[in-house]
């Protein structure tokens, strides 16, 4: 039995649109929810929830590695068209994730529970509530782990419309928590933890039900294939090394900052990272739409089509990100004050550096997916992990000579560029891929585009007031410039003709 593989630019465009709508509505709902929850819980309880939940989040290393493994193997089997093999991969993936959830449970209820009660600084009288939060967080995280194979099937089958609707539904549930929290009596922190757990379980049931109705492989049956399970664990093991490198970089730099400065500097970088996370969501929503097709094309043996999709995807991702990043860099001061009111020192500088790093990182996901599609990731994960971990000693040494907190972000940007070059060279070793062609096609036109829209922003920004209406006007002018300049600078004549034909065909179809 076989299944067909269909790759189309229109499908990628539709998937990207649904993912962006999902992300926009989710961000708006979450921003409002966080504001109200902050008011209801108060500073201490909100801090308790975040620090206690952070203990459980530390175990995400294991889950992130398995997410990459499940998505790669499911997408690969879709690309080969072997439905029987696909069903086996899904069932084994479920088994592996149940095992992983049990491992996390053991670790959380031993080392994690000890750390919570013996090491964390919890306010007097809130330890019982903290333990309630901890237990709810463990169960919610286990539910998330077991849901991975189902989510991976939705992404692999490119049902981004459903993925978007379900994401919006989850955001609405979380928004409903806000109103229920204000109505339900009792300890608000415990009530909030229970409500969040309820949403996690509900969404797990909905995702599972959707997958069983729409994908024939999503009916679990116990299957054994020692070679397949070994391959999945091996893939996940090397992915774990890569994820560990990024975690050490992100958390280690915060520790380094705290060693040389104070918590106010950590807070400034934390705010910048929050904005960076949202921005990376913009890029990931596009790359999520093309990543499954990269793996399918490799599995089908269409290496040329895969490389072309990779180049086009990275180019468009960089253009989309630059259209957001450039005006944000110029308006960072006003936007932060409108959002937060009083801002901590160094926040603006950190934010601008985080924005620059997002321009480097926005093309990483498709390249990484292309590397993972080959299944030969050991060398790649080791090298990337070493590069990311190198942030820590380099930042520490630099700060010893020059006590400037921005230097940790400068180091991070430099290592991100090195990591990008390393990925391209490693991909060149595995498939017929020219990194010089990649740089020419992706950066040859986008760098002039970024430079010109940067000059445009520098020229027009002083014309607008430092207010919400002024910022809206500035972004409107800048995005109009991006559309015009992008059409004539970022795309060549052949690409403009192709885009025009696609749009005309779409309009004729209604």
82 three-state secondary structure:
strand
Give the pLDDT confidence score for residue 245 in this predicted structure.
Answer: 66
Question: Of 365, 380, 387, which Cα lies nearest the Cα of 310?
Answer: 365
Length of the chain: 510
Structure tokens at 137: 């967080």
313, burial (CB in 10 Å: exposed 0-12, middle 13-18, buried 19+)? buried
Question: Of 398, 405, 399, which Cα lies nearest the Cα of 267?
Answer: 405
Question: Of 59, 237, 74, which Cα lies nearest the Cα of 151?
Answer: 74
Cα separation of 318 and 63, whole Å? 28
**Which parts of 193-289 are beta strand (E)?**
none
C-beta atoms surrounding 435 within 10 Å: 15
Question: Of 367, 414, 362, which Cα lies nearest the Cα of 387?
Answer: 414
Cα separation of 458 and 267, whole Å? 28
278 three-state secondary structure:
helix
> Alpha carbon of 498 to those of 423, 502, 503: distances in Å?
30, 6, 9
CA angle 25, 43, 262 (to 5 degrees): 100
Give the pLDDT confidence score for residue 319 in this predicted structure.
Answer: 84
User: Who's near 232: CB < 8 A, 6+ residues apart?
Assistant: 69, 70, 73, 92, 93, 96
252: Cα separation from own chain's centroid: 19
Give the pLDDT confidence score for residue 56 in this predicted structure.
Answer: 61
Give the pLDDT confidence score for residue 186 in this predicted structure.
Answer: 82
Each residue's pLDDT, cut to its tens digit, for the chain (510 residues) gives 444 444 455 555 555 555 556 666 666 666 666 666 666 766 566 656 666 665 665 555 555 556 666 767 777 777 667 777 778 888 888 887 888 788 878 888 888 788 778 766 677 788 888 888 889 888 888 888 888 888 778 777 767 677 777 777 887 888 888 788 888 888 888 888 898 889 889 988 888 888 888 887 777 777 777 777 777 766 666 666 666 666 667 666 766 776 677 556 666 776 677 677 767 766 666 666 677 778 777 877 778 888 888 888 888 888 888 888 888 888 888 877 776 666 667 878 888 898 888 888 888 888 888 887 777 777 877 888 888 888 888 888 888 877 788 888 888 899 889 988 888 888 888 888 787 888 888 888 888 888 888 888 898 888 887 777 888 888 888 888 888 877 777 777 776 666 666 556 544 554
> Alpha carbon of 427 to those of 71, 286, 492: distances in Å?
19, 21, 26
CA angle 493, 494, 500 (to 5 degrees): 90
User: Who's near 311: CB < 8 A, 6+ residues apart?
Assistant: 437, 438, 441, 442
How much of the chain is helix, strand and coil, in % rounded to 5?
Answer: 85, 0, 15
Give the pLDDT confidence score for residue 342 in this predicted structure.
Answer: 63
Give the pLDDT confidence score for residue 247 in this predicted structure.
Answer: 64
């Amino acid at each position: 039995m076989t299944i067909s593989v269909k790759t189309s630019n229109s499908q990628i465009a539709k998937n990207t649109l649904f993912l962006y709508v999902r992300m926009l509505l989710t961000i708006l709902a979450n921003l409002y929810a966080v504001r109200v929850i902050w008011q209801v819980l108060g500073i201490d309880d909100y801090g308790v929830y975040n620090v206690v939940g952070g203990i459980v989040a530390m175990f995400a290393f294991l889950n992130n590695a398995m997410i990459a493994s499940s998505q790669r193997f499911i997408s690969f089997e879709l690309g080969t068209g072997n439905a029987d093999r696909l069903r086996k991969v899904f069932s084994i993936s479920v088994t592996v994730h149940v095992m992983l959830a049990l491992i996390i449970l053991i670790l959380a209820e031993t080392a994690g529970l000890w750390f919570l009660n013996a090491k964390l600084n919890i306010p007097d009288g809130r330890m019982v509530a903290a333990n309630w939060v901890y237990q709810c967080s463990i169960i919610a995280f286990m539910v998330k782990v077991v849901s991975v194979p189902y989510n991976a099937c939705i992404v692999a089958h490119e049902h981004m419309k459903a993925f978007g609707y379900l994401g919006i539904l989850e955001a609405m549930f979380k928004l409903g928590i806000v109103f229920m929290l204000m109505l339900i009596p009792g300890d608000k922190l415990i009530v909030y933890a229970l409500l969040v757990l309820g949403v996690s379980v509900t969404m797990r049931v909905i995702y599972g039900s959707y997958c069983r109705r729409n994908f024939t492989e999503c009916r679990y049956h116990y299957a054994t294939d020692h070679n397949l399970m070994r391959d999945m664990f091996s893939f996940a093991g090397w992915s774990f090394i890569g994820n560990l490198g990024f975690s050490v970089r992100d958390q280690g730099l915060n520790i380094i900052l705290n060693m040389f400065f104070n918590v106010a500097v950590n807070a400034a970088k934390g705010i910048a990272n929050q904005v960076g996370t949202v921005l990376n969501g913009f890029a990931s929503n596009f790359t999520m739409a093309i990543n499954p097709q990269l793996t399918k094309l490799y599995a089908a043996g269409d290496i040329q089509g895969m490389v072309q999709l990779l180049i086009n995807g990275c180019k468009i991702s960089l253009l989309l990100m630059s259209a957001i990043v450039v005006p944000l860099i110029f308006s960072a001061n006003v936007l932060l004050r409108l959002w937060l009111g009083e801002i901590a020192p160094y926040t603006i500088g950190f934010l601008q550096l985080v924005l620059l790093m997002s321009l480097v990182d926005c093309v990483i996901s498709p390249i990484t997916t292309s590397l993972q599609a080959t299944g030969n990731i050991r060398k790649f994960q080791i090298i990337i992990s070493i590069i990311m971990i190198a942030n820590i000693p380099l930042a520490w040494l630099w700060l010893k000579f020059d006590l400037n907190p921005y230097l940790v972000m400068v180091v991070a940007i430099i290592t991100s560029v090195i990591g990008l070059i390393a990925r391209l060279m490693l991909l060149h070793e595995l498939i017929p891929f020219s990194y010089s062609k990649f740089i020419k096609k992706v950066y040859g036109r986008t760098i002039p585009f970024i430079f010109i829209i940067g000059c445009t922003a520098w020229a027009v920004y002083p014309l607008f007031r430092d207010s919400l209406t002024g910022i809206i006007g500035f972004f409107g002018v800048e995005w109009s410039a991006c559309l015009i300049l992008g059409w004539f600078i970022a795309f060549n004549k052949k690409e403009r003709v192709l885009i025009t034909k696609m749009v005309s065909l779409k309009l004729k179809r209604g």
